Structure 1
Amino acid sequence: MAEVDWPWQYDFPPFFTIQPHLETQNKQIKAWQSLILDYFKNTKSYVLDVRESQNSPLFNNAKINRILFDIFHEFAEPLFICKSGLSFYNNRWYIYWHTPEEWGSMIYEWIQSNGMVNTVCTLYELVSGDNTVGEEFYGLDVDLLLKALRTLEHKKKAEIIMFDGNEGVKFL
């Protein structure tokens, strides 16, 4: 896991307590949104299971003995809004620092620049293959990858296929 540069407020106990003053609370929520997006991008993580969040160093600052989970449900609605790059499904938050459309565009640009239009790739090749190691989409969560590829399908630039028990994609 990559080293995390925590912002100053991470070690400030009130940061882990919902602030009663609305203007301060709005700033607090924006700071948490930014921290969450930065943390997940830095650690190349894409999914947060709410049930396990209290064990994450992101929400559990042992240094000051504070856990955001104590106020998580009160805080969740304004904190995790889709506009900020976060999406919720079945106790799992999908963290987007790029939208599925942006991931799809990145992948398609890579396909074009490597002369792979009209070829088939497995999902594994795209996110775990030797040829994509230096790409930002390397290690991308498979569910998020499929969302990105579906955006390309809608634009008629790709077709998700099944072959030999594997999922793949043909780029058009």
Structure 2
Amino acid sequence: MLEGTNREMAVFDYPWQYKFPPFFTIQPNQETRKKQLEAWCSLILSYHRHIKNYSLDVTEAQSSPLFYNKSIDRKLSTDGIYTVLDELNKRGHIEWKDKARKQCLIMWRTPEEWGKLIYRWICDRSMTNTVCTFYEISEGDDSSSEEFHGLENWLLLRALKTLQSQGKAELIDGSEGVKFF
């Protein structure tokens, strides 16, 4: 679902293309389409980052402010939304939650990118060779000023798994804990 208050919607800075009617029609010219998809991908990731939302429901998307600009009365078609989401999927920024492709997880940063941010925070705080809970990392007072604060557990786990594969962390079985090296 796309969620957020009206204040959040008003504060979000849409790119210039959002006010350009042809932006809402997937273009047939390959070079133009490539630029258009780049702009749509950037818009979707920036928007979800702004409202700190990690999921999208395709059936609700077309009527959301992201895909429907009421001021110019233009909306991206469902096929267009799928075209953009397929591009985001190729880039590793979304993952379908269901086989029907009605809901997807949005990752405005890849798990690897989140892992790097978390590990930098751990190192900056001299917390290597310590154990942390998932809660401390994503909800604790010490992380409140970090971009990963509020990160949903499924994405936090993926980020930590990337650190584990690099030998920088070890997930503690049966708990929501991790040891950093």
TM-score category, normalised to shorter length = 0.7 to 0.9
Contact 1:32 / 1:79 at 8 angstroms: preserved in 2?
Answer: no
Which consecutive residues of structure 1, in runs of 5 or more, have no partner in the other structure?
Answer: none
What residue number does 1:29 align with?
37
CA distance in 1, matches of 2:156, 2:82: 31
**Identity level (%):** 50
Which of residues 105, 123, 144 in structure 2 aligns to 1:133?
A: 144
Q: Cα RMSD (Å) of the superposition?
A: 2.3
CA distance in 2, matches of 1:121, 1:19: 48
CA distance in 1, matches of 2:28, 2:167: 49
Aligned 1:6-155 pairs, distance under 5 A: 6-72=14-80, 75-76=83-84, 79-83=87-91, 85-90=92-97, 91=101, 92-155=103-166
CA distance in 2, matches of 1:101, 1:40: 18
Number of equivalenced pairs: 169
Contact 2:40 / 2:84 at 8 angstroms: preserved in 1?
Answer: no
CA distance in 2, matches of 1:77, 1:104: 24
Which consecutive residues of structure 2, in runs of 5 or more, have no partner in the other structure?
Answer: none
TM-score, length-normalised on structure 1? 0.83
Q: Could you tell me which amino acid in structure 1 is paired with residue 180 of structure 2?
A: F
CA distance in 2, matches of 1:109, 1:80: 26
Q: Could you tell me which amino acid in structure 1 is paired with residue 177 of structure 2?
A: G
What residue number does 2:180 align with?
171
